[in-house]
Structure 1
Amino acid sequence: MDIKEVYWLQQIIPLAYEALEMLTKLPTKRPNLSPRIIPPPPSKRRRNIEVEKVKDNQRRIWVKEENLSRDIDGLFATTFYKTHNQEEFRRRAGMSTQAFDILFSLVGEQLNKNSIRRPIAPECRLFLTLVYLSNAERVVDLSKAFKMGCSTVRCIVQETSEVLWNTLSVAFMPQPSVDDWRNIVSGYQELWHMPHCLGAVDAKLLDVSYKSENDIVLMASCDAQLNFTWMDMATVTDAVNNQIHWQQGFGGQLLNQSLEYLLPEEPLPGTEQQSNFVHSFIADSNFSLRQQLLTPYQEQQLDDDQWHFNHQLRIALAGSINKAFAVLMSRWRVLTEPLRQSPSNAGKIIRAAVVLHNFVKLHDDSYCSVNYLEEVPKCSAKHQVPCDWLVNSQQSLANCKATLQLRKSITRILSC
């Protein structure tokens, strides 16, 4: 070892001792030398879902900015409050302001909503629904006019229509009592010399245009004053085999001859005969003769008395059920356009329009005035129900003997 190596060791040894002293002062716990497990990076699909959730949370606001001014320049604010006593209100809502106030007093409490947000006023909910039913405007147009979302408009219309039917039907379209049926019979006897008539019946075809459901049949009866007394709806399950499903029972029971007798058999008025006859509804030739359903004679080889009976029956139908449906579909034009709703929601709208007909007719003299009845257009041919849906080719006249005897006796009375 030469002198240079000695000098090098003298410099290195002190440094080594200092390093050993520092190591002795460190903690004695050994570090975890196991390999670190790194989680795999999130997949691309997961990242996309997380990004979409963030965007959805950013879009979910209570009211869109363009709809914040609906209490100032929305259709409800500009029409309901500023023109509450003008003719524009009647054109929009389909009734007078007085009738609206009475209607709101009946259903307003059920239209109140409790929410942490400021709810839409019940007057606005009712007014919006009436505008929709009366003018058949599209939901998109109503959304812009009232400054609401489309889903909000649909929800308000469906909820309010259901409230209208549930509330008004009890008072303005109840199941007739025995006294009510007798008043209906006397009304047809006085106006059209049609005895033992429980009312006129007809059916209209309404377009739903929802997925596979394209048709709803509305059948109703009315009294001599054009008030609807009974109604039923049917969905066409199989148009080829004429399979129709009636919802509330009246239509199916009447067409299937299972309807209970509403009044007992009695003699015909104005005759000396002591024989008793049944009471019956009347309908046109689209229906077939049934128990408690009186229809015209078939057109082949009619004698004078039979022709006169058919003529008088057509006059009674034209003055009652035909006009009732014409007023209904001209005042509540939503029934003349495709509803574009599910069958259940479409049923709510149809029932609301029918019961509103009875309500407004009673509280608004201009709704069904004489001048309006002279000008009201007839229902278009597209609403005509195919005869095959209302006529059962396998129907036997064995159960219709009482109705046949009633028709023959009325024919003899009219010939005199």
Structure 2
Amino acid sequence: MDKGLKLINSELNDALYKLLNDDSAGADSALQERKQKIAMLIKVHVRHVQQTVITNRRRRQQKSRRRLKQLRSFFMQQMMELQSRYLHMFAMLRMKHAQLDNTHTDNTQPDTHDDLNLDNSESEFVGVSQTQFWEDTIPQYNDEEFLNSLHVTRSTFKSLCGQLAPTLRSVPELAAPHLDRISAEKCVGLALYFLASGERISIIAEQFALPRARTIKCLKVFCNAVMTNLGKALRLLPQSEADCVNVVAGFQRECNMPAALVGVLGVCCIPLRGKGKSDAEFVPMLRMEFLLDDRMLFRELQLSNGNGNGPKAPMFAEPPNPLSQLPARCINRRMVPAFVLAPVNQNYPMRPWLLQQFSDPVAPHEYDFNEVADHLHELSDCALHRLMSRWRFLSQPLDISFQTASCIITAATVLHNLLEELSEPHMLEWGNTVDVSRFRSPPIAPRRDTSEDLNRAVEVRDFLARTISSTEM
């Protein structure tokens, strides 16, 4: 192109020179001036053409280079994404393979190796995260971020580690010679993060760079340590006289219930993703019954499902039980058995120690009793909402077996009681997405009640209802 432009320029200069110096026709000065103008216009036009050609060529070259650069960047980006997807898929396949090994172990040895298969091949997998979540990320959190991640303050976390460390260090699985040692702080942090975040076990295992089996083992070891060190002190039915006096007085101040109520029963159902002991046996949900005291702390817990695991009878339905053996209380010169309030619309049997609302109230005192009962059931829903918003794993379908879920839920209620007694912060935004109405339990199958305690229970409820009406302000 450059040679072509030079040739055009030389030919143009020759033509212009001949045009200016052509006197053969004896042109006058006017004609000569017109020739000069024509020559100048031709020269300007050619220069404009030349400039346009050069400019377009440069722009075309720049556009071509820019497009090649963009294609190269796009190609490199696609290669990086493919590599990342490959690594992620490889990690997920390894975890799925580990889960299949765990399921096989659960089916063959459900009582001794639940959710645990610490073979050498699985222990070699330690996750694909570039950064260590516990070692690198958590220490960089400020106090607010730490609280929102683990739902406990740093001071309480250190206190928990101090109380549970002797028990955790004595567990051989956490310090196996052929595996990486798991510190007591990491075990406590992993368990609290699982309870607070509601993430699935596989995601927790990847974040903490542990195999799924060791992650579940950490959770079970932590829960056993909590129950060993804290469970007895924080999870008891009011049995001592001083404890009973405080509880019944608290309910009387709260709702004007006569001083014989020692607890409110609640029930909910938590969905499970796991299977039972056989491949064809599915566990759709876990039924949780709980007893709350006047401070809405969890005193008793009963977990069961529909496949023969755990007790089938409703809580405190059959005598003898710890509730039926509590001493009676004197109310208006009449001895009234200590009782709990059964959940509404659940077909619990009427017993002197297990009372229900009036199903079809007619008299004013019956409406008064139901009004007090409704207020107590609202407090029960608030307590369940507070528990589920603190430990978000309860509001998500659990991808673990029934035995492991029972162990974790029991320890979670104990931890909840401990944090409530310590007045730990409880942020309102934790419960923005928690709706306890989604976990309503279907009623138990109704049965014909021929017990001799039924008539006595009706008399006790009628007496309490009349007492409430006579003491209303």
User: What is the TM-score of this pair, normalised by structure 2?
Assistant: 0.65
1:311 equivalent to 2:376? Answer: no
Q: Give the helix-richer structure, 1 or 2.
A: 2
1:234 equivalent to 2:304? Answer: yes
Match of 2:274 in 1: 210
Q: 2:156 aligns with which of 75, 81, 99?
A: 99
CA contact under 8 A between 1:290 and 1:400: conserved in structure 2? Answer: yes
- Give, as a single letter, the amino acid of the residue that structure 2 aligns with 1:406: V
1:64-143 equivalences in 2 (<5 Å):
64=125, 73-83=131-141, 85-112=142-169, 113-116=174-177, 117-143=179-205
**Separation in structure 1 between the aligned mates of residue 295 and residue 148 of structure 2, nearest angstrom:** 24
Match of 2:257 in 1: 194
**Separation in structure 2 between the aligned mates of residue 296 and residue 303 of structure 1, nearest angstrom:** 13
C-alpha deviation, 1:205, in angstroms? 0.8
Q: Secondary structure at the match of 1:309?
A: helix
Match of 1:45 in 2: none
- Give, as a single letter, the amino acid of the residue that structure 2 aligns with 1:233: L
Identity of aligned residues (%): 19
- Give, as a single letter, the amino acid of the residue that structure 2 aligns with 1:388: I
C-alpha deviation, 1:314, in angstroms? 0.7
**Separation in structure 1 between the aligned mates of residue 136 and residue 154 of structure 2, nearest angstrom:** 15
C-alpha deviation, 1:354, in angstroms? 1.0
CA contact under 8 A between 1:135 and 1:333: conserved in structure 2? Answer: yes
C-alpha deviation, 1:376, in angstroms? 7.0
Match of 2:444 in 1: 388
**Separation in structure 1 between the aligned mates of residue 420 and residue 396 of structure 2, nearest angstrom:** 22
1:161 equivalent to 2:161? Answer: no
1:324 equivalent to 2:383? Answer: yes
Q: Secondary structure at the match of 2:370?
A: helix
**Separation in structure 2 between the aligned mates of residue 259 and residue 107 of structure 1, nearest angstrom:** 32
Match of 1:406 in 2: 460
Q: 1:296 aligns with which of 328, 352, 357?
A: 357
Q: Deviation string for 1:206-249 (max 9, x for gaps)?
A: 112322222221111111111111111112137xxxxx8418xx
CA contact under 8 A between 1:99 and 1:364: conserved in structure 2? Answer: no
**Separation in structure 2 between the aligned mates of residue 66 and residue 339 of structure 1, nearest angstrom:** 22
CA contact under 8 A between 2:365 and 2:465: conserved in structure 1? Answer: yes
Match of 1:44 in 2: none
**Separation in structure 2 between the aligned mates of residue 217 and residue 303 of structure 1, nearest angstrom:** 35
Residues 364, 93 of structure 1: CA spacing in aligned structure 2 closer, same or farther, 3 A cutoff? farther
CA contact under 8 A between 2:127 and 2:207: conserved in structure 1? Answer: no
Q: Deviation string for 1:1-40 (max 9, x for gaps)?
A: xxxxxxxxxxxxxxxxxxxxxxxxxxxxxxxxxxxxxxxx
C-alpha deviation, 1:358, in angstroms? 0.6
C-alpha deviation, 1:332, in angstroms? 0.8
- Give, as a single letter, the amino acid of the residue that structure 1 aligns with 2:463: S
C-alpha deviation, 1:181, in angstroms? 2.2
Q: Secondary structure at the match of 1:203?
A: strand
CA contact under 8 A between 1:278 and 1:403: conserved in structure 2? Answer: no
Q: Deviation string for 1:301-340 (max 9, x for gaps)?
A: 5232211210111112212x22221111111111111112
CA contact under 8 A between 1:283 and 1:317: conserved in structure 2? Answer: no
CA contact under 8 A between 2:381 and 2:436: conserved in structure 1? Answer: no
**Separation in structure 2 between the aligned mates of residue 381 and residue 298 of structure 1, nearest angstrom:** 21
Over the residues paired in the alignment, what is the CA RMSD in angstroms? 2.7
Q: Secondary structure at the match of 1:209?
A: coil
**Separation in structure 2 between the aligned mates of residue 110 and residue 65 of structure 1, nearest angstrom:** 25
**Separation in structure 2 between the aligned mates of residue 381 and residue 253 of structure 1, nearest angstrom:** 21
Match of 2:311 in 1: 246
Match of 1:183 in 2: 246
- Give, as a single letter, the amino acid of the residue that structure 2 aligns with 1:205: C
CA contact under 8 A between 1:139 and 1:154: conserved in structure 2? Answer: yes
- Give, as a single letter, the amino acid of the residue that structure 2 aligns with 1:315: H
- Give, as a single letter, the amino acid of the residue that structure 1 aligns with 2:134: F
**Separation in structure 2 between the aligned mates of residue 143 and residue 90 of structure 1, nearest angstrom:** 21
CA contact under 8 A between 1:257 and 1:291: conserved in structure 2? Answer: no
Q: Secondary structure at the match of 1:230?
A: strand
Residues 67, 310 of structure 1: CA spacing in aligned structure 2 closer, same or farther, 3 A cutoff? same
**Separation in structure 2 between the aligned mates of residue 144 and residue 394 of structure 1, nearest angstrom:** 52
Q: Secondary structure at the match of 1:237?
A: coil
Structure 2: segments with no counterpart, 5+ residues: 1-119, 276-281
1:223 equivalent to 2:279? Answer: no
Match of 2:92 in 1: none
C-alpha deviation, 1:291, in angstroms? 3.4
Match of 2:413 in 1: 354
User: What is the TM-score of this pair, normalised by structure 1?
Assistant: 0.73
Match of 1:7 in 2: none
C-alpha deviation, 1:252, in angstroms? 4.6
- Give, as a single letter, the amino acid of the residue that structure 1 aligns with 2:140: K
- Give, as a single letter, the amino acid of the residue that structure 2 aligns with 1:293: L
Match of 2:64 in 1: none
Q: Secondary structure at the match of 2:251?
A: helix
CA contact under 8 A between 1:325 and 1:379: conserved in structure 2? Answer: no
Q: Secondary structure at the match of 1:255?
A: coil
Q: 2:392 aligns with which of 329, 333, 341?
A: 333
Count the aligned residue pairs.
335
